[in-house]
Amino acid sequence: MENWTQRIFLKTALMGTFVASLIASTSPAFAQDKPLIEPDVKPQVVNEALIDTENFEVGTFFGVMNIEDFGSSLLYGARINYHFSEGLFFEANYGQSKGGKTSFETLGNVDLISDRTYSYYNVNIGYNLLPGQAFVGGKYAFNTNFYLVGGAGSTKFGKDSHFTANFGAGYQILLNDWLAINLSAREHLYRTNITGKDKLVFNSEMSTGISVLF
């Protein structure tokens, strides 16, 4: 009988120490898992979605188009570029101008063509040949590019479209990460018989414009 009561007390004592030790052993571990101050930001994994890429450029330009036999006129247009390496880029242009009168038309008071709208599109490949910097005073430095472009497209003049090759060069000043000023000179070549004889014409373009990079 004595043994029996001893056993009961022993059991409860053992249970007590076990529970106590359990609490003692788990609670500090619990405290280690949760820091005193929980940071509200998780470590960020860097991936493509997090980085803003700026390989496209859209712009407008205006200048002078010299149309062989038909004088020089105001030119305006739009341009889109895609930069696919640090040097190389695609460029698509659309430009519009208006042909003037040939000297024959002025002297004879006649019209050779009814529609004088001159429009062209072309798709080119460009190369940033001379990257550099330009300095304005002592405070400002702007990145610049001297680039070459060449490609093909079509010119519509006197209601007819002609396959047109074009090449040229340009100078770009980047005012900041997303805005640039462009100056460019291009030569457009195509065959036409608009003045009566089949010949290769050379039309020169000088233009300036702004573009937005995104």
Partner 1 sequence: MFKKNVRLAFFALFLMTIFNQWVIADDLIKLGSGQDEKLDQLARVKVVEAFIEWHTGPAEGYPVFHVSEQGEWLHILIRKTSWMKVRDAKGLEGWVTVGDILLMEDETGELVSLVEPEFDNYSTRRWELGLMNGEFDGSAVNSAYVGYWMTENLSVELWGSQVLGNASEILIANIDILHQPFPSWRFSPFFTLGAGQLFVNPKATLAAAKNRSEDTLHAGIGARYYISNRYFIRMEVKDYKVFTHRATNQEAIEWKIGLSVFF
**Sites of contact with partner 1 (CB under 8 A):** 41, 43-48, 50-55, 62, 74, 82-88, 90, 123, 125, 128, 130-133, 141, 143, 151-154, 158-163, 174-177, 179, 181, 193, 210, 213
d(CA 128, CA 75): 24
Q: How far is the CB of 103 from partner 1 (least distance, A)?
A: 22
Q: How far is the CB of 162 from partner 1 (least distance, A)?
A: 6
How many C-beta atoms lie closer than 10 Å to residue 164's C-beta? Answer: 22
Q: Which is nearer to partner 1, 28 or 196 (CB)?
A: 196
Q: How far is the CB of 133 from partner 1 (least distance, A)?
A: 6
Q: Which is nearer to partner 1, 20 or 210 (CB)?
A: 210
Q: Which is nearer to partner 1, 10 or 210 (CB)?
A: 210
Q: How far is the CB of 56 from partner 1 (least distance, A)?
A: 10
Q: Which is nearer to partner 1, 111 or 160 (CB)?
A: 160
> How open is the CA angle 49-55-88, to the nearest 5 degrees?
135
Q: Strands 199-213 and 179-192: what pairing?
A: antiparallel
Reported residue count of the chain is 214
Cβ neighbours of residue 168 closer than 8 Å, sequence gap 6 or more = 148, 149, 150, 184, 185, 186, 187, 205
DSSP annotation of 148 = E
